[in-house]
């Protein structure tokens, strides 16, 4: 998780470069040039990072409808009001996982500087076209949302939905899982779910893969019931009238009479006797 702001990171990088250069015998001018190049590179990268959104959501990939964007903003605004914690959501076009992770770190530090630090902030960044996602977490939420849990949310909730083409559901389910992990009151009360439903999110709050497994479970149960019915039918006994009265004979004890084969033989007849 990130604990250093951008200025501290740049200062530490400059110190490291100076120490490394001196250890390799570089001149003072060469060392200064390396530090200047490093600072210029970081400045260029920061300039390429988008500015912080005015209301929590930056849809650089143009993946959200206006009504869905408003639903996300309402959920985040209510969480910030109750918990004093800011959640940003950002989409970027065509970033693979490594590129998205690098951009997310820089964006997180840049955006949270406007809030005075990163301790009370969370960033959910996505690149729907590349089906990649990343969660950056401030110090305050680390005990509830660890790196392992953040990766699990991306792998189990975001990836299945975005792979199925449901970008809005992928982002909504990710947000719900993050809010539940940090024990936000907006999910406990159901307010977050209501806002997202109003924003067009349909279906249950489980990823599409688990929904399919749930459907298979119903058919498996139905198959077990049918097998049980057939088994009981086969094993049921029938009533037969015997020489000692009515008796119930299991089907495996019923003897089916064998048909006798027709045999060919000589046909003989009688004659008529009489006298005249």
Sole residue written with tokens 């992928």? 170
Within-domain flag for 65: yes
15 sits in which H/E element: helix 6-23
Q: In this structure, are 38 and 16 located in the same domain?
A: yes
Out of 138, 171, 203, a domain closes at 203
Give buried/exposed letters for 44-68 (b at 16+ CB in 10 A, else e): eeeeebeebeeebbbbebebbeeeb
The pLDDT assigned to 155 comes to 97
Q: In this structure, are 195 and 61 located in the same domain?
A: yes
The pLDDT assigned to 40 comes to 41
Q: In this structure, are 131 and 187 located in the same domain?
A: yes
Closest by Cα among 79, 83, 75 to 198? 75
Closest by Cα among 187, 168, 184 to 89? 168
What is the rounded CA–CA span in Å between residue 61 and residue 129?
8
Number of domains in the chain: 2
The pLDDT assigned to 163 comes to 95
* pLDDT lower than 50: segments of the chain: 1-6, 9-10, 17-18, 32, 34-45
The pLDDT assigned to 113 comes to 84
For residue 170, the domain's CATH number is 3.10.310.50
Q: In this structure, are 27 and 147 located in the same domain?
A: no
Within-domain flag for 190: yes
Q: In this structure, are 149 and 198 located in the same domain?
A: yes
Q: In this structure, are 23 and 76 located in the same domain?
A: no
Residues spanned by the domain of 21:
6-48
Within-domain flag for 225: no
Count the Cβ atoms, other than its own, within 10 Å of residue 177.
23
Within-domain flag for 76: yes
What is the rounded CA–CA span in Å between residue 181 and residue 153?
10
Tell if the pTM clears 0.85, that is, is over it.
Answer: no
What is the rounded CA–CA span in Å between residue 203 and residue 209?
12
């Amino acid at each position: 998780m990130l604990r250093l702001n951008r200025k501290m990171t740049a200062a530490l990088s400059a110190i490291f470069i100076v120490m490394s250069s001196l250890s390799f015998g570089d001149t003072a001018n060469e060392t200064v040039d390396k530090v200047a190049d490093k600072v210029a590179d970081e400045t260029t990268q920061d300039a390429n990072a988008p500015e912080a959104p005015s209301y929590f959501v930056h849809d650089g990939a143009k993946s959200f409808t206006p009504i869905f964007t408003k639903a996300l903003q309402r959920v985040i605004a209510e969480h910030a009001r109750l918990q004093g914690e800011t959640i940003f959501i950002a989409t970027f076009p065509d970033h693979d996982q490594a590129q998205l992770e690098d951009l997310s770190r820089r964006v997180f530090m840049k955006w949270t500087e406007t809030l005075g630090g990163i301790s009370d902030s969370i960033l959910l960044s996505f690149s729907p076209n590349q089906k990649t996602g990343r969660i950056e977490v401030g110090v305050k939420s680390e005990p509830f949302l660890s790196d392992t849990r953040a990766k699990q949310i991306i792998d189990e909730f975001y990836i299945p939905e975005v792979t199925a083409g449901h970008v809005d559901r992928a982002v909504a389910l990710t947000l719900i899982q993050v809010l539940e992990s940090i024990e936000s009151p907006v999910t406990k009360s159901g307010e977050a779910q209501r806002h997202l439903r109003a924003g067009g999110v349909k279906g249950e709050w489980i990823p599409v893969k688990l929904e399919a497994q749930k459907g298979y479970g119903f058919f498996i149960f139905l198959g077990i019931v049918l097998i049980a019915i057939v088994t009981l039918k086969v094993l049921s006994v029938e009533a037969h009238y015997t020489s000692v009265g009515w008796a119930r004979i299991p089907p495996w004890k019923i003897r089916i009479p064998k048909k006798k084969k027709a045999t060919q033989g000589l046909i003989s007849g009688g004659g008529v006797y009489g006298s005249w």
